[in-house]
Amino acid sequence: MLTFDHVHFYYKKGQPVVEDVSFTIKAGEFVSIVGANGSGKSTIAKLMDGLLLPKEGTIKLQQLDTSKTADLFEIHQQIGFVFQNPEDQFITTTVMDEVLFGLENIRVPREEMRSRMDHALLAVHMEDYLDSMPHQLSGGQKQRVAIAAILAMRPQIIIFDEATSMLDPQGREQVLYIMHELHLQGMTIIHITHHMEEVLSAERILLIHKGRLQFDGDPLTFFETVPVAEYQLQLPFSVRLHQTLQLEKPISPDWKEGIRSQWP
């Protein structure tokens, strides 16, 4: 569905940032893109959306091609972004307006706006905060409003670019929970992070190192075979514990139950 075919990119000639990267992400997958700071993850996310164009190779979303100007508008509609700092994304003064603003921009008919907004806020469990001021919410709630604003636009894919990294542990768990709920509803989720705890429950991991794709596979194989320290990454605590205790089965991070019990 989303295909990178031998993609190369640089900001300055002679200093490659993405080198010969190829992969295909299928509809409905939950993919984590991991790698140390500066490895090229955000650049890859911007290439996905056509915000940056490859110097070599092609990037396609189904039949749409980011190198074709005529396709870019549709690609922007199909891919939503959630960034690190939700505050940067807020433009209006209430949660309701925040979600409606994007819908006005893409000229959704007025009679359809309300149902789209209600649906999006329900999906992130923020339906009781319509009149709240986004800036007064907790970090996790702010990020959930930012997600609702994207959801209301009905993209096929949501890219979370380090979207949990500024949040406290509770906020982080809330956002991870929403990501997994959206995935269960059939949405394609791309989660960019350098926090390894967060990738345990992904279906697939892409490891980027110095602009190159070093691993593409499931989390169990990743943690069993990849020497993560060589990529300036740290094994998740539960995996380290499992290895230290030499247990036969990996410890399942029972994070979903944990969040359910403390849901606000």
- Interaction of residue 40 with ligand ADP, rule CB under 6 A: yes
> Which of these ranges, 41-49, 72-80, 145-153, 256-264, lies near ligand ADP under the rule CB under 6 A?
41-49
Q: Is residue 109 involved in binding ligand ADP (CB under 6 A)?
A: no
Three-state DSSP class for 204? strand
Q: Considering the rule CB under 6 A, would residue 39 count as an interface residue with ligand ADP?
A: yes
Q: In what order do the strands lie in the sheet with 64-65?
A: 15-25, 2-12, 56-61, 64-65
Residues 6+ away with beta carbon under 8 Å from 104: 113
Give yes or no for residue 35 binding ligand ADP (CB under 6 A). yes
The CB-of-115 to ligand ADP minimum distance in angstroms stands at: 36
43 binds ligand ADP (CB under 6 A): yes
- 6: Cβ–Cβ under 8 A, 6 or more apart, which residues? 20, 21, 22, 56, 57, 58
Residue of 155, 159, 177 whose CA lies nearest to 255: 177
Using the rule CB under 6 A, give the single segment among 39-47, 142-150, 215-223, 245-253 that binds ligand ADP.
39-47
Q: Which of 22, 24, 26, 38 binds ligand ADP (CB under 6 A)?
A: 38
Nearer to ligand ADP (CB atom), residue 46 or residue 256: 46
32 touches ligand ADP (CB under 6 A): no
Which class for 132: exposed (0-12), middle (13-18), buried (19 or more C-beta within 10 A)?
middle
Tell me the CA distances in angstroms from 243 to 34, 156, 205, 223, 228, one per residue in order: 21, 38, 20, 10, 14
Name the residue type at position 20.
Answer: D
**Smaller CB distance to ligand ADP: residue 11 or 261?**
11
Radius of gyration from C-alpha coordinates of the chain: 19
**Should residue 227 be labelled a site residue for ligand ADP when binding is judged by CB under 6 A?**
no
Q: How far is the CB of 84 from ligand ADP (least distance, A)?
A: 10
Residues that bind ligand ADP (CB under 6 A): 11, 17, 35, 37-43
